[in-house]
Amino acid sequence: MNLKRSGALLGVVAVGAMTLAACGSDNNSSSTGVDASASNATCEGKSNLSAAGSSAQKNAMDQFVATYISVCQEKGKTVNVAYNPSGSGDGRTQFIAGQIDFAGSDSAIKDEQADKAKERCVGGEAWNLPLVFGPIAVAYNLDGVDKLVLNAEVLAKIFNGGITKWNDPAIAALNSGASLPDEKITTVIRSDSSGTTDNFQKYLDAASNGAWTSGAGSDFTGGVGEGAKGSAGVAQAVATAPGSITYVEKSFADQNKLSVAEINTGSEAVALTNDSAAKSIAGAKFKSDATGDLTLDLASIFKTNEAGAYPLVLATYSIVCSKGYDADTTAAVKSFLTSAANEGQANLAEQGYVPLPANVQDRLNASITAIS
């Protein structure tokens, strides 16, 4: 997914450029290709919203904001959403402190932070609303091996140092007939704190049948690997290092023309495509069946055995107050999220994200409507 760790200034420039493009529109079809008359966004409430957090969702948020600005312009309203991709942890901290209207986060707000958020959301609580999804590729550089199948158990052993050669019997068993070299495996990991690292490790923890024992977190816990900063850094490192492997958002693997492994889920090997990632998202379960907080049961994605479903997917949330905003902020937050969850999803695939499947979109719209 195109999760470039750009600074806030680049985000402002990108949104500003798209805003200027919107100013030239003179019909019901916005500059982003969206029919404003079909949008359910009311464009009511305060004109300027503020948000911060996940850099993973920055490019999606830029698109959401540009679309929202354009839709509201067609309805005669001037709006803006200033999103600072300062990192998930910072976004949650600012949200709790009441410094921003909503946060972006690669992990759900929970435990002590959720309790503190109740003080900020006077009379309400913090809801985690999954707005942006994107697949994580297992990208590799191995001469003569154009197709490679791995599974969670083998990946866990590669990234914790238990498997060190490409022709290891465990890899060979998943790749019958392939000519695997007697070559050292070089693992490349994120040197910076990252939601991608956290979700990759959560996947290994959930799906590797106990082969991964070091837990998860935004910092890599496996103990082996050469570090590189950012998604671009790990992708470029693998591109120049034969015998290497990494985990990285799909668009960075595509940009660097890296080979991407298929993942064996127990019943079949599944290639990474937008459709295969969407299948796993559509089958995701939530921690609760109630309308409101939509924290995902990530194991339902990571351990999927549905035919054709790719299991390694990053989910990022918008964290909002269920109630407790003033009336103008409530209206604006609901209006923006309504646009982002619907017309804002158009063309996300071009940026390496996976648009919301219909069943997830329906749950999300119901929760947005319930904000009061």
* Best CA proximity match to 274, nearest among 352, 346, 358, 340: 352
Is 25 annotated to bind ligand? no
- Residue 323: predicted pLDDT: 97
- Residue 30: predicted pLDDT: 46
Distances (CA, A) of 166 to 185, 220, 235, 272, 351: 6, 22, 19, 21, 32
Residue type, 213: T
Exposure letters 111-140 (e unless 16+ CB within 10 A, then b): eebbebbbebbeebbbbbbbbbbbbbbbbb
Is 26 annotated to bind ligand? no
Cβ-contact 282, 359 below 8 angstroms = yes
Is 39 annotated to bind ligand? no
Is 106 annotated to bind ligand? yes
DSSP code, position 357: P
CA angle 347–348–353, rounded 5-degree value: 150
What are the structure tokens assigned to 307, written together? 């035919």
* Best CA proximity match to 265, nearest among 173, 151, 137, 149: 151
**Torsion angles phi and psi, residue 80, rounded to 5:** -160, 155
User: Partners of 314 in the beta sheet?
Assistant: 134
DSSP code, position 37: G
- Residue 230: predicted pLDDT: 86
From-to residues of CATH 3.40.190.10 in the chain? 8-134+316-370, 135-277
Per-residue pLDDT in tens (0 to 9) along the chain, 372 residues: 444 333 333 333 333 333 333 333 333 344 556 777 789 999 999 999 999 998 888 889 999 999 999 999 999 999 999 999 888 889 999 999 999 999 999 889 999 999 999 999 998 999 999 999 989 999 999 999 999 999 999 999 999 999 999 999 999 999 999 999 999 999 999 998 888 899 999 999 999 999 999 999 889 999 999 999 888 899 999 999 999 999 998 888 988 999 999 999 998 999 999 999 999 999 999 999 999 999 999 999 999 989 999 999 999 999 999 999 999 999 999 999 999 999 999 989 888 899 999 999 999 999 999 999
- Residue 7: predicted pLDDT: 36
- Residue 130: predicted pLDDT: 97
DSSP 141-153: E-TT----EEEHH
Please determine, looking at this structure, whether the domain spanning 8-134+316-370 carries the CATH number 3.40.190.10.
yes
Is 182 annotated to bind ligand? no
What are the structure tokens assigned to 141, written together? 């550089």
**Torsion angles phi and psi, residue 104, rounded to 5:** -105, 135
Is 259 annotated to bind ligand? no
**pLDDT tens-place string over residues 88-102:** 889 999 999 999 999
**Helix/strand/coil percentages in the chain, nearest 5:** 40, 20, 40
What are the structure tokens assigned to 362, written together? 């329906």
Cβ-contact 353, 251 below 8 angstroms = no
CATH of domain 135-277: 3.40.190.10
**Torsion angles phi and psi, residue 163, rounded to 5:** -120, 125
Q: Three-state secondary structure along 183-199?
A: CECEEEEECCCCHHHHH
- Residue 88: predicted pLDDT: 86
Is 88 annotated to bind ligand? yes
**pLDDT tens-place string over residues 125-175:** 999 999 999 899 999 999 999 999 999 999 999 999 999 999 999 999 999
* pTM of the full structure: 0.81
**pLDDT tens-place string over residues 28-64:** 344 556 777 789 999 999 999 999 998 888 889 999 9
How far separated are the first and last CA of the chain, in Å rounded?
Answer: 33
- Residue 293: predicted pLDDT: 97
User: Partners of 245 in the beta sheet?
Assistant: 140, 187
* Best CA proximity match to 4, nearest among 312, 186, 255: 255
Separation between Cα atoms, residue 357 and residue 361, nearest integer Å? 6
What are the structure tokens assigned to 359, written together? 């069943």
- Residue 35: predicted pLDDT: 75
Residue type, 274: N
Is 134 annotated to bind ligand? no
